[in-house]
Structure 1
Amino acid sequence: MAALLWYFAVFLYFGAAGALMLYGLNCYVMIFLFHRGRRRAARRLERVAARFGDPALRDDLPVVTTQIAVYNEVNVVERVIRAVCRMRYPRDRHEIQILDDSSDETGDIVDRMAESMAAEGFDVQVIRRNTRTGFKAGALAAGLEVAKGTLVAVFDADFVPPEDYLLRTVPFFMTDDRLALVQARWGHLNRKRSFLTRAQSIGIDGHFMVEQAARNWNNLYMNFNGTAGIWRRSAIDDGGGWAWDTLTEDMDLSYRVQFAGWRTLFLPDLVVPAEIPEDVNAFKSQQFRWAKGSIQTALKLFPRLVHQPVPIFQKIQAFFHMTHYLIHPMMLVVAVLALPVLLGFDLKGGPLFFGAVACILLVSMTAPNALYLVSQRAAYTDWLRRVLIMPVLVVVGVGIALSNTRAVVEALIGHDSPFIRTPKRGDREIKRYRTAFPGLAFAEILLGGYCVMTFLAYLKAGKYLIGPFLAVYAAGFLFVGLLTLAPRLFREG
């Protein structure tokens, strides 16, 4: 019986490591597709610009509704309203909806700002609901019911759109009748705040600059990122409208719209800056929502994906895209089973096995870093200085594996959970929003200690190739666990 259990552990261990390698190798596929499509995409944008001319001089621009989704955003709501009103566009063709579900004093700021902007000639509407049914997706759907625009821009409360946002996005809809979505790249207002925010900025850049661009430029499915995008309203309706049976309503709608035959466009040079979570608890909460929601979306849409009349490569890439967060359960399996697998081996044997595992882990860990490196080089002139923080990103990426595994498991078993917003600080913090008590941090610290023990066992056994990876696992869980508890401990003290 013990032998069977050990063989089963080896099977899980190798299977998890192999899955990590596949997701890692796909990072290299993304890098290749990014480089292959970059010049072709640039030429396409130049053709549209030359054909359309200066949008500010045209008198046939469509009516746009800009939706600002708000829930208890005291620190940032005034900033985003002012930024949206500053966007250059004919005022008689630009409706601004503030979708306010707030339960605190945010509502007072919203009312004051709406009255002030309306007095200046802006078409500002405040829409409030009696209940938060559907959370953000429900608010967007409610606003859409009374929206005037044929195009709908969406911004979260912590985003600051540039003044030329509409003038740079609307022309694409006027030159392509089947274009459903134009997505801008996220920028970072508070990147320099800490090591944590700097590390997150690289991860976000990797997703946008390489992954989103690679998908869009090579006719693969691309997702709306929930904000900093503008939709054709008829495409939303054709795709089935906003739904809230997943926590990533943005990805869900994106795929449904593309399944209906609509196209998307990503503009990497149009940057909309936003806040990065500064508190590790807020960061983990955000990642939890994204992880659970993407797996929920995969479960919901995979049957439809299989039957789509598209090339198999496009389906494979969609699978990798929607199930990306499965890497965290795989990381956890590797971390937990590394010690039992070692103890079950004759310590003098198994060099081929452990060498193979080391190679697999090397690919799975270095491939995302290669993608991040490419993104920094493509986006910034000072990329060499920025990538110095990448080791922190690696450690944090491993450290959230336990929290994200919980998110994946909840999605797989169908456990419901509310949409938990990510607190924002703003230019000046007026109110501090608290996050829930981080009980999972104790498990992360224990897991980190276990990985330290496993790391020492591998060194003692002379398995030096795998040792460094276990050290990263140990550092990740300990770092994230202790960083999660630290604010609470200091406040209690």
Structure 2
Amino acid sequence: MSALLLAAVFPTVGLIVCSAILLIQIALLVLRPIIAFMPARMTTNLRRIEKPHFSVHVATHAEPPHLVIRTLQALLDQDWPERDYEIIVMDNNTEDPSLWMPVKEFCDAWPYRITFLHQTGVEGAKAGALNIALEHTDPEATHIVTVDADYVVNPDFLTRASRALQRTGADFVQFPQSYIATTTAAPGVDAELDEYFRTNAAVADEAEAVLLTGTLCVISKPALVAAGGWSGSTTTEDAELGVRLCNAGFSGRFINQVVGRGLLPLSLNDLEKQRYRWCSGNFQTLLRHGASILTASGAFTLHKRLVILSQLTAWFNLALIPFVLLTVWMLTGRQDTAAVTIAAAAIVLSLCDITVRVVARGWRDRLALPVVLQALACRIALAPQSAKATFDGLIGSGLNFVVTDKSGAEGKGCCPLSLGHLLIFLSAVVMLVTVQPANPVILAALLVLMLPLLAASLTDQSLRNYRETIALQKTEVSP
């Protein structure tokens, strides 16, 4: 923070800071196509995997009971032999009995198939809950499966997991996250979220260094134990574990098959919270394991280092510092300096990165133009939160694990125009009107800064439509 204040007061320092940010942006922009063209070097001596015995772990905290029960029913309905898997529900720190007692009652009806655990005072959020579930795992279990409390898996999920393990010989595999009812409601939000799996995860598969994303992942129990179990040191315990597994020499593969669907965040506010956690948690992970990822101290090949770096920086946005410096300098009459131009260029490049990634994915997968534009609007709407999360991670701000609301209550009556979106928009308007810059780079940056507000409005409307669709489906299935 002191460095930012110093940069604002002394443009020379600011010029150095913004130039460094610009170079990092260019490096990350160039990194992804380089990785995409690197030849795959798959393990030739595949590990022989016998028929796995699964322990399915469902961590819950203050979840709507009907969602959890629906998830558990789908897990009970697997075409995998009952004797070859167990289900453990670990409810942590839920104070309201009306939320966890109905789940317990459902689990009690299946005493030989589901183990229900409820504990308070659990530390480490989801990681702490999963470690407790690990302690209660059947000794015969060979693989741990994590499923989020709102996911309905296909009947052949465990069968596909077994086939993936046997085909790849991997120590852990990750299936893509997918969402219910997005075909007609919020397809752009779905496409924006799916871009990570279509690009970062798919490319990381070729290096056998896919990071975990929290749900629909299958991990060898010996590998999980050898890596030290789950850690609550970051808010993305899944990605952090993935780095440790890879550094310990275990292989991870991405299995591009939809095997279950969950709920999208039901409001823009929830979506922003989720993106903030993903981005800041990955930054925490990068800082925690930076030495092993970026230097020779780690046990990674160059290919693995690059794909892990690409995955951890997938949600990064480095535009907050250039935005603050640009605003200060413009409003104090220093708009003609080189530092201002470099700051403006960093902001414009941030939009270029977003556009290239989203549009390239849409072109490659032949998505309809309206869906691509909606996905682009979603990524732009989330850019301020990504920028704040990146900055908070950089300065070491205290970060907490926040559970995404599944009830939709937080979205009712919620104004989509957050303080951040309004502040950015008004700042750009004030600079545009009062300063009237002639520099085309600065002018372009100010126009870029106006986009998140409009994009937020469009994305919020998509999520409102999605909420209505989910509510209608719930009404149709209710007795």
TM-score of the aligned structures, taking structure 1 as reference length: 0.78
In 1, the alpha carbon distance for the partners of 2:242 and 2:213 equals 9
Q: Structure 1's 268 and 261: CA in aligned 2 closer, same or farther, altered over 3 A?
A: same
Corresponding residue for 2:124? 134
In 2, the alpha carbon distance for the partners of 1:463 and 1:61 equals 65
Which of the numbers 13, 21, 29 marks the counterpart of 1:16? 21
TM-score of the aligned structures, taking structure 2 as reference length: 0.80
| Contact 2:71–2:149 under 8 Å retained in 1 | yes
Q: CA deviation at 1:214?
A: 0.3
Aligned residue runs from structure 1 range 195-206, under 5 A: 197-206=186-195
- Does the alignment pair 1:124 with 2:114? yes
Q: CA deviation at 1:417?
A: 4.0
Aligned residue runs from structure 1 range 92-491, under 5 A: 92-101=83-92, 102-104=94-96, 105-118=98-111, 123-148=113-138, 149-174=141-166, 179-191=170-182, 197-219=186-208, 221-305=209-293, 306=295, 307-325=297-315, 327-328=316-317, 330-339=318-327, 343-344=333-334, 346=336, 354=341, 363-377=349-363, 382-401=367-386, 403-405=388-390, 407-409=392-394, 412-413=395-396, 415-425=397-407, 432=409, 441-456=418-433, 460-476=436-452, 480=456
| Contact 1:22–1:364 under 8 Å retained in 2 | no
SS of residue paired to 1:335: helix
In 2, the alpha carbon distance for the partners of 1:324 and 1:372 equals 12
Corresponding residue for 1:55? none
In 2, the alpha carbon distance for the partners of 1:260 and 1:160 equals 32
| Contact 1:449–1:478 under 8 Å retained in 2 | no
Corresponding residue for 1:491? none
In 1, the alpha carbon distance for the partners of 2:163 and 2:154 equals 16
In 1, the alpha carbon distance for the partners of 2:404 and 2:274 equals 6
* Residues 145-193 of structure 1: per-residue CA shift (max 9 Å, x gap): 121221111011111211111111113434666x221100111214367
| Contact 2:89–2:115 under 8 Å retained in 1 | yes
Aligned residue runs from structure 1 range 81-96, under 5 A: 81-96=72-87
Q: CA deviation at 1:456?
A: 4.2
| Contact 2:52–2:84 under 8 Å retained in 1 | yes
One-letter amino acid of the structure 2 residue matched with residue 445 of structure 1 = L
Q: CA deviation at 1:360?
A: 6.2
Where in structure 2 are there 5+ consecutive unaligned residues?
1-5, 464-479
In 1, the alpha carbon distance for the partners of 2:336 and 2:168 equals 65
Greater mean alpha carbon deviation, residues 10-19 or residues 71-80 = 10-19
Q: CA deviation at 1:321?
A: 3.4
* Residues 317-346 of structure 1: per-residue CA shift (max 9 Å, x gap): 433433455x43x21122222345564355
SS of residue paired to 1:96: strand
Which of the numbers 30, 33, 38 marks the counterpart of 1:28? 33
Greater mean alpha carbon deviation, residues 8-17 or residues 139-148 = 8-17
In 2, the alpha carbon distance for the partners of 1:416 and 1:465 equals 35
Q: CA deviation at 1:246?
A: 1.5
In 2, the alpha carbon distance for the partners of 1:168 and 1:2 equals 54
Q: Structure 1's 199 and 453: CA in aligned 2 closer, same or farther, altered over 3 A?
A: farther
Corresponding residue for 2:473? none
One-letter amino acid of the structure 1 residue matched with residue 320 of structure 2 = L
In 2, the alpha carbon distance for the partners of 1:234 and 1:453 equals 59
Q: Structure 1's 346 and 446: CA in aligned 2 closer, same or farther, altered over 3 A?
A: closer
Corresponding residue for 1:490? none
* Residues 256-288 of structure 1: per-residue CA shift (max 9 Å, x gap): 111111101101123432211121221122122
- Which structure features the higher share of helix residues? 1
Greater mean alpha carbon deviation, residues 248-257 or residues 284-293 = 284-293
In 2, the alpha carbon distance for the partners of 1:171 and 1:421 equals 32
In 1, the alpha carbon distance for the partners of 2:7 and 2:34 equals 41
* Residues 90-120 of structure 1: per-residue CA shift (max 9 Å, x gap): 00111011112232222122123213445xx
SS of residue paired to 2:74: helix
Q: CA deviation at 1:127?
A: 1.5
One-letter amino acid of the structure 2 residue matched with residue 207 of structure 1 = Y
Number of residue pairs the alignment of both structures matches = 445
Greater mean alpha carbon deviation, residues 287-296 or residues 338-347 = 338-347
SS of residue paired to 1:131: coil
Identity of aligned residues (%): 19
| Contact 1:277–1:283 under 8 Å retained in 2 | yes
